[in-house]
């Protein structure tokens, strides 16, 4: 336990942010260790951006505490922020500058030692695949490469904690794969917080996940726990002489039925006490539906969000 505490890079406890009578974030806590990637997930308006702003020191919490590498972000913000690299949802790049010019500017703002300036730029470009783009105008780069420039500015001063807000929004599928791979590589040497509304992205990249809804944490577990949560909530039934969707809905009144393809239905929105397996088998025999396959299926992204974000908080 002592070793884990020693590697703790960020600790946020009881974060709350109020705007008058409106509570944007309520009692959010998270802890991050070196080499760990945590996903901060939630629908629009869930409180992700407000939480990110508090963690990066851009917004003071109404209540709660934040420590970065043991340094209190509220009491000693200048020192604490040297340990943080931040990529907002809209990359803070100057499109009229060349990649080298921009990274040199950012490095100086982060007070990178002049003797290390060139090597710091080279390392950041190498890690983000920008070496060949050094003399290119940022405005002439594709959105994917502009995103890489944004990540390069977040790591040029070698921070312990890297915070990325929606880093793959607006990218094409190939660019998304490249940026996700880059984030996983960053997670080997840094602690990374990834804010997103894309559940598969979290499953592909992160070690653990927190899901926010209306400013509160409604799910907090590792990726194994998330996959377990998604499993067992849906089943897929295949019939040789399939019933109509309405006929199946009439028999299974507590379940949501959707057609996967001809003769195959997905039955979801289930709870353990509402397991319809026996009822499906029984009705299939009675109605001669010819059930020949009944398998478990993971809940869809939409179903996970619906279940977690429609409960009272």
Specify whether the CB–CB gap between 213 and 313 falls below 8 A: yes
| pLDDT for 251 beyond 70 | yes
Report the candidate in 143, 91, 164, 99 with the shortest Cα–Cα distance to residue 125.
Answer: 99
- 232: pLDDT confidence band, cut at 50, 70 and 90? low
| Buried b / exposed e along 267-284 (16+ C-beta atoms within 10 A) | bbbbeeeeebeeebeebb
| pLDDT for 2 beyond 50 | no
To the nearest whole number, what is the mean pLDDT of the chain? 88
Percentage with pLDDT > 70 across the chain: 91
* Domain ranges within the chain, ordered by starting residue: 2-224, 232-297
| pLDDT for 269 beyond 90 | no
- Per-residue pLDDT of 162-196, as tens digits, reads 999 989 888 888 889 989 999 999 999 899 999 98
Report the candidate in 85, 86, 54, 48 with the shortest Cα–Cα distance to residue 67.
Answer: 54
**Which pLDDT value is given to residue 311?**
60
User: How far is Cα 116 from Cα 93, in angstroms, rounded to an integer?
Assistant: 22
- Per-residue pLDDT of 107-142, as tens digits, reads 999 999 999 999 999 999 999 999 999 999 999 999
User: How far is Cα 206 from Cα 203, in angstroms, rounded to an integer?
Assistant: 6
**Which pLDDT value is given to residue 1?**
34
Mean pLDDT value across residues 39-54: 89
**Which pLDDT value is given to residue 79?**
95
Report the candidate in 142, 130, 124, 136 with the shortest Cα–Cα distance to residue 98.
Answer: 136
The CATH number of domain 232-297, selected from 1.25.40, 1.10.150, 2.20.110, 3.30.70 = 3.30.70
Mean pLDDT value across residues 22-49: 91
* Contact residues for 34 (Cβ-Cβ < 8 A; gap 6+): 7, 9, 160, 190, 191
Specify whether the CB–CB gap between 98 and 62 falls below 8 A: no
SS3 of 8, please? strand
| pLDDT for 4 beyond 80 | no
The residue written with tokens 């009675």 in the block is 286
Mean pLDDT value across residues 44-54: 89
**Which pLDDT value is given to residue 24?**
95
**Which pLDDT value is given to residue 234?**
77
User: How far is Cα 78 from Cα 71, in angstroms, rounded to an integer?
Assistant: 10
| Buried b / exposed e along 50-63 (16+ C-beta atoms within 10 A) | bbbbbbbbebebee
* Neighbour tally for 215: CB within 10 Å: 24
CATH architecture for segment(s) 2-224: 3-Layer(aba) Sandwich (3.40)
Percentage with pLDDT > 90 across the chain: 66
| pLDDT for 274 beyond 80 | no
């Amino acid at each position: 336990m002592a070793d884990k505490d020693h590697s703790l890079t960020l600790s946020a406890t009881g974060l709350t942010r109020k705007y008058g009578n409106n509570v944007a974030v309520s009692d959010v806590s998270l802890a991050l260790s070196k080499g760990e990637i945590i996903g901060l997930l939630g629908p629009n308006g869930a409180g992700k951006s407000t939480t990110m702003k508090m963690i990066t020191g851009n917004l003071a919490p109404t209540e709660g505490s934040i420590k970065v590498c043991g340094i209190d972000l509220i009491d000693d913000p200048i020192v604490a922020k040297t340990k943080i690299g931040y990529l907002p949802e809209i990359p803070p790049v100057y499109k009229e500058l060349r990649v080298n010019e921009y990274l040199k500017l950012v490095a100086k703002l982060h007070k990178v030692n002049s003797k290390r300036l060139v090597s710091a730029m080279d390392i950041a470009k190498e890690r983000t695949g920008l070496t060949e783009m050094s003399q290119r105008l940022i405005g002439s780069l594709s959105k994917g490469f502009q995103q890489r420039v944004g990540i390069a500015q977040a790591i040029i001063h070698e921070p312990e904690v890297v915070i990325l807000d929606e880093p793959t929004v607006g990218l094409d599928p190939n660019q998304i794969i490249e940026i996700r791979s880059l984030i996983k590589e960053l997670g080997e040497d840094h602690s990374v917080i990834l804010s997103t509304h894309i559940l598969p992205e979290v499953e592909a990249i992160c070690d653990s996940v927190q899901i926010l809804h209306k400013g509160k944490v409604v799910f907090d577990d590792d990726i194994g726990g998330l996959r377990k949560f998604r499993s067992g909530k849906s089943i897929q039934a295949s019939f040789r002489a399939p019933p109509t969707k309405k006929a199946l809905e009439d028999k299974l009144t507590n379940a949501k039925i959707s057609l996967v393809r001809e003769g195959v239905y997905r039955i979801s929105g289930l709870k353990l006490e509402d397991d319809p397996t026996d009822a499906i088998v029984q009705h299939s025999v009675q109605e001669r539906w010819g059930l020949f396959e009944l398998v478990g299926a993971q809940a869809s992204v939409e179903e996970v969000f619906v279940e977690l974000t429609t409960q009272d908080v």
